[in-house]
Structure 1
Amino acid sequence: MSQPSYKPDFYSRAFIKDAMPHYRRMRELGPAVWLPSNKVWAVSRYEDVKKSLFNAESLISGKGISANGFANRLMSGDKKITLTSDGEDHMRKRGVVGKPLSKKGMKDLSQQIQNEADRLVESLLARGRFDGVRDFAEHLPVQIVSNLLGIPESGRENMLNWSTQSFNITGSYNWRTLRSIPAGIQMARYGKRINRDNIDPNGWVNNLYDAVDSGVLEEEDVPAMVNDYMGPSLDTTIIASSYMLYLLGSNPEAWEAVRSAPELIPNAVNETLRMASPVRGWCRYVKDDVDLSGTLIPKGSRVLVVLVSANYDERKWKNPETFDIHRNPRDHLAFGFGVHSCLGRHLAQLEMESLLRSMIGRVSQINVSEPKLALNNTLRGFSSMPVQFS
């Protein structure tokens, strides 16, 4: 029996600019759909995405998470980061990197982040109009993360660009992939310059060297693993925070509901994360034949797990394209699921909730203009958005 296929290029400009109809069509076609333009199987329904992410033994990350061979060969080297490791190696590295990003670690940071959020909102109110991405969403992640990492000052200013471009590299071969390779090389070179002598002993990166001293990591692991902090702590949070501003500005009744009932803040954050879905999807390598809800995916294939489509699946969510402040979708898949779920999820939620708490007592109205879409192979967000607080 022939398997369903879908011809449009998942990483094309046209697909990215108007993706929702494509996702709906892919969900309609079946549990897994062959994308001939990208040479991958796309899994786009909620339950099937969740099953795929949970099946880390057959759908592995250690052979790369990209839709192109060049990036996958780089990711499959000896010194893998947490994102592209499997099994015991993955859990060992994740345990080290995730320690300061745990719920307990966030408790120690909560007041610092809240104070910075208060200062930010006060300054934006004084300014009047501002950019919802650059001035609002980028501020906390860039300020907080760059300081907490404890990495050398020289080069920090490039962190966000390097991180953003690294997500481009995980798409198919296209002009965005090729244009981003130099930034990926610069990011790797910066990591190699980091050592015990030029980091803050109280910073997160020093945790990696503590793990070296205790025998959990090898010293050669550290440079690459610095990158494990950048992606989950920067881009995804920035995208979600700007999307939160857009949704609340576009739905003033929802903002009024949050202001009247601050206990709705977690709802607002989770609903935003579901709808924002900052990562479009990652690839997995099929180690063994996989039967996914009746569709056979053969060994040696690549599976593209489409997180954003899962978060808009009509089989799971009622009126998925509607921002519902009274819905609290804690089981959204914006951060993935299973052993590879996003390490920065607690930090992202803390920053977003802190921003809302700062805004509640100060901002009565959020005026947003049409945002400009950022074109990225893997990330889904805005590059700019005019905003005014009243």
Structure 2
Amino acid sequence: MATTLHLPVSGRTLQHYTIANQPLAAPERPAGGHAFNRVVYAAAHVVVDPLADNDPWLDRNIDWERTVAFREHLWDLGLGVAEAMDTAQRGMGLDWAGARELIAEVQSAARNRSDALIAYGAGTDHLIPGPDVGIDDVIRAYEEQVNYIEGQGGRIILMASRALAAAAKSPEDYVRVYDRILRQVREPVIIHWLGDMFDPALAGYWGSRDDMAAMETALAIINDHASRVDGVKISLLSSEKEIVMRRRLDPAVKMYTGDDFNYAELIAGDEEGYSHALLGIFDAIAPAASAALHRLAADDPTGFHAILAPTVPLSRHIFKAPTRFYKTGVVFLAYLNGFQNHFQMLGGQQSTRSMVHLAELFRLADQARVLRDPDLAAERMKTILATAGI
């Protein structure tokens, strides 16, 4: 018998909602491993330890066992892991000290698997922006994090820097910083261009608030160092800008879509190329992403879109403005799906979305067939509603 819930909607009312869909079957892991024709990373969240006796707004309290287990789940589905990124609340609850712990824990697990595709975010978040912080300080901060990750045997995702955005006076300052770091790295890196909708402190990155002007600087840096750059992740939530940049990259450099609004069409591509992926939403919809990528690799674009298209409304809801609060939806879905037994986040970030928002997320997750145990999800949704007196 189908389960019906009473879910809040706008206007301070409740509506009946009956679960309508069975979950997608996760693809079995082939004996030889998954074979996709795109390189795909899921930016993974961290799981909080709710029993820690600390100050949750101030202190780290990570459940390492469940956090690592979730990475194993992503690897089992053939997805890579983009570690210590903004999905893991980097700069919003996870500081550099916590990121170092996370990197060490997950890299230890990755060494035990031949199929563990993983890369780690290196930034400057231990450097507090201010009037006394200059370009040389930014370079030293990047070097510290790059050296730590490479010392662990990890590959680099070069994250955008709040300190650089604050200190830079011109595009030439970005050229100076990235030239210095890219000349030092051991292996090609992924460069991350994160738009200010994800982090307002990054407004004007690459030296301009005009994205197309900023793109000129980014392209010059990337193409001048093509042998040192595996790819660029662009997170501007604009398929048009991504395609423009994709077509102008050096042929050796990959485009990794970070567009959580338009990822299906960008991964599928067009007659002139396609994007690989590095996406926070793939944390939340990993089985669907894996199943769709299997269809794409089998030259079945219709099957690819049939699986992935229903997830797009869910993703657009999770990433709606203020976009930086998307982590709450990602963790909520992990709770509904049984990957953790609570809905708690670093810094109390579970409070950043309304009950109406979470109820709509539940509906869209059902419609996208990403509730892996609908009965469990319904019981957990009822628990959350009860905390709000519903």
Q: TM-score, normalised by structure 2?
A: 0.28
Q: With structure 1 as the length reference, what TM-score do the two structures score?
A: 0.28
Higher relative contact order (CA 8 A, sep 6+): 1
More helix by share: 1
